[in-house]
Amino acid sequence: MKQRAKRKFRLISSVLAVLLLLSGCGPDFKEDNSQDTVTPKDDSLIVVGVSQIGSESVWRTANTASIQSTFSKENGYFLIFDNARQKQENQIKALRSFISQQVDYIVFSPIVEDGWDTVLQEAKDAGIPVILMDRNVNVKDESLYTAWVGSDFTEEGRRAGRWLSGHLAEEGRGDEEVNIVVLQGTNGSTSVIGRTKGFDSVAAQHDRWNILEQADADFTTAKGKEEMNKMLQKYEDIDVVVSQNDDMTFGALEAIQEAGMTTGTEGEIIVISFDATKSALEKVEEGIINVDIECNPEQGAYIEKVIRTMENGERADKEYFVEEKVFTKKNVDSVIDDRSY
């Protein structure tokens, strides 16, 4: 019997026993609101437990939508979705619940990289493959997860740095002193670690780039505004804002405008953003944001490919990188109308 079929048999038997005990009814499965008792009616469906970080950004909402549309009943899946509301402890709880329900696959986006060894070992011991989505984990034993699907965050950071270098050169400012502030997302997350490392590696090649501060703004608009306000009060001469997602960028733009300053292609402050959501791309089109480094949230199809590979009894690759581009005023029209998020 295949691994999944064995687990399904155990899951059905245990749930069936509970249902029979509780209701005295026949072997029909049911859904209810309690996460521990959600079970599929149709045994041919592949059961996938997904632990999402939360809904901190437009990007995250698009990522959730991609998962929910991919893992539908029509596509042969039974999705158990949990929103961890930005808390690692909620993610650990969700993972344990998926393990006790003996789901076929666990998919999760770890809020930070550290602290997963124990729960991933529990999933491994239960024979449940874990696929990481978007962010990565820092574990001693890499066999604790099967595959990772996401962005090359370090390359995203390098793209931001390379764009800035080219832009300053084009403007004849290549030899000028440039003061940079950075709004970072969630501390300890893969996206922050990668984007910071990538941007810093390019900055290290430019003696006259001064990174004045890297402030933690947690990927949210409210924190982006708050931290930008503080930096505007602290530093007189900010030339560049690197904001590690569009939500924080919107907060920063508000703070800059309220301080009576201008941004973008014709403005005083150069703005570099990440994600490339529709509303931010519109600001690129208007010339208010100079450049947006795409981070692709549509990862459902990539994850499904991993699951299909395993269902066919084949070995999945360890890493799958999603496709991404860089958008400025020059090429933003090619994407803006079709952007769904």
Tell me the CA distances in angstroms from 47 to 75, 185, 307, one per residue in order.
Answer: 12, 32, 11
Supply the minimum distance, in Å, between the C-beta of residue 218 and ligand AHR: 9
273 binds ligand AHR (CB under 6 A): no
Q: Write the interaction track for ligand AHR spanning residues 72-111; mark x where CB under 6 A is met and - where it is not.
A: ----------------------------------------
Q: Which stretch binds ligand AHR (CB under 6 A): 51-59, 124-132, 168-176, 221-229?
A: 51-59
Say which residues have a Cβ less than 8 Å from residue 181's Cβ, sequence separation at least 6: 211, 212, 213, 214, 215, 228, 231, 235, 238, 240, 241, 242
Q: Which stretch binds ligand AHR (CB under 6 A): 29-37, 54-62, 170-178, 298-306?
A: 54-62
Q: Give me the DSSP letters along 14-47.
A: HHHHHHHHHH---S-----SSGGG---S-TTSEE
d(CA 52, CA 106): 11
Give the angle 290-291-296 at the CA atoms, nearest 5°: 155
218 binds ligand AHR (CB under 6 A): no
Supply the minimum distance, in Å, between the C-beta of residue 58 and ligand AHR: 7
Supply the minimum distance, in Å, between the C-beta of residue 338 and ligand AHR: 20
- Count helices and strands in the chain by DSSP H and E runs: 11, 12
223 binds ligand AHR (CB under 6 A): no
Number of residues that bind ligand AHR (CB under 6 A): 13
Give the angle 295-211-202 at the CA atoms, nearest 5°: 55
Pairing of strands 270-275, 319-321: unpaired
Of 52, 64, 245, 299, the one binding ligand AHR by CB under 6 A: 245
The alpha-carbon radius of gyration of the chain (Å, integer) is: 23
Site for ligand AHR in 291-320 (CB under 6 A): 295
Pick 134 or 227: Cβ nearer ligand AHR: 134
219 binds ligand AHR (CB under 6 A): yes
Pick 7 or 135: Cβ nearer ligand AHR: 135
Q: Is the backbone of residue 170 left (phi > 0), alpha (psi -120 to 50) or beta?
A: alpha
Exposure pattern of 305-324 as b/e (b: 16+ CB <10 Å)?
ebbeebeeeeebeeebebeb
51 binds ligand AHR (CB under 6 A): no
Site for ligand AHR in 171-190 (CB under 6 A): 185
Q: Which stretch binds ligand AHR (CB under 6 A): 10-18, 52-60, 67-75, 281-289?
A: 52-60
Supply the minimum distance, in Å, between the C-beta of residue 188 and ligand AHR: 12
d(CA 180, CA 287): 19
Of 52, 191, 196, 221, the one binding ligand AHR by CB under 6 A: 191
135 binds ligand AHR (CB under 6 A): yes
Q: Which positions touch ligand AHR (CB under 6 A)?
A: 56-57, 59-60, 134-135, 185, 191, 219, 245, 274-275, 295
